[in-house]
Amino acid sequence: GALPATDAAAQKKKLYCWEENGKKVCGDALPAEAAGAKRSEFSTTSGRHTADIAAALTPEQRAPAEMAAAEARIRAEADEARFRREMAMAESYATEADLRDSFQERIDLIDESLKASDLGVIGLRQSLVALLRQAGENELAGKPITPVARDNINTQHAELRRRERIFAQQRVQRASLDEELATVLARYREIKGAGQQRAAENAASGATPPQTGG
């Protein structure tokens, strides 16, 4: 039969243990000041350990915890978006060659930019060397370097450094495009392979495509 009300209440009673000033304190009632503290709970009837309650977060702790949760949510959304892109990619390109062709357009564009940048850097360097040589010859001849010549040298030097930085960035982009293509190809093969495996399993299990009326 059902337990008497007093026995049922006794079954639900708990013993709490928490820390106060570095000392363990236990009691069958939890004081208000310990409500947010880390504690353990035990059954008063069996003495069995029933739960561990973590300490409530302080405002200082809550902000990083909420930020971490938000970052985890953003990562999950990014993973989901990447998965959708990959599935769309697998459906968009019938063959691996088609996928390579789409990347080749981007590769050709960057390669053309690299050639133009390389020629630009070479031309600027040659121009700067010529200006410096002329300035050196003028000094040897006892002629002062004019402010215009000095400005030209400084301007050419700054432009050369700028072009070199652009050229370096383009080389990094070109290398990353090769890496991206390798990654996308590997993923494409995985997705296509999984699709072919499912098709083979369906065929092995006797599944047939629906027949259309003739």
Give the C-alpha distances (Å, rounded to integers) separating 101 from 43, 82, 144, 157, 172: 69, 21, 58, 40, 21
Please, what's the b/e burial string for 54-79 (b: 16 or more CB within 10 A of its CB; e: otherwise)?
A: eeeeeeeeeeeeeeeeeeeeeeeeee
Sheet holding 23-27, edge to edge: 23-27, 14-20, 39-43, 49-53
pLDDT of 43-92, one tens digit each? 777 778 788 877 766 777 777 777 888 888 888 888 888 777 777 777 77
The predicted model scores a pTM of 0.45
Calpha distance 32→9 (Å, rounded): 22
Calpha distance 188→93 (Å, rounded): 9
Calpha distance 121→160 (Å, rounded): 6
Closest to 167 in 3D by CA, of 126, 123, 102: 123
CA angle 154, 159, 165 (to 5 degrees): 130
Task: Give the per-residue pLDDT at 214.
Answer: 43
Region for 93 from its dihedrals, namely left if φ exceeds 0, alpha if ψ lies in -120 to 50, beta otherwise: beta
- Phi then psi dihedrals of residue 173, to 5 deg: -60, -40
Task: Give the per-residue pLDDT at 7.
Answer: 53
Q: Cβ distance 111 to 174 under 8 Å?
A: yes
Task: Give the per-residue pLDDT at 36.
Answer: 75
Task: Give the per-residue pLDDT at 207.
Answer: 54
Low-confidence ranges of the chain (pLDDT < 50): 3, 5-6, 212-214
Token digits of residue 68:
């971490």
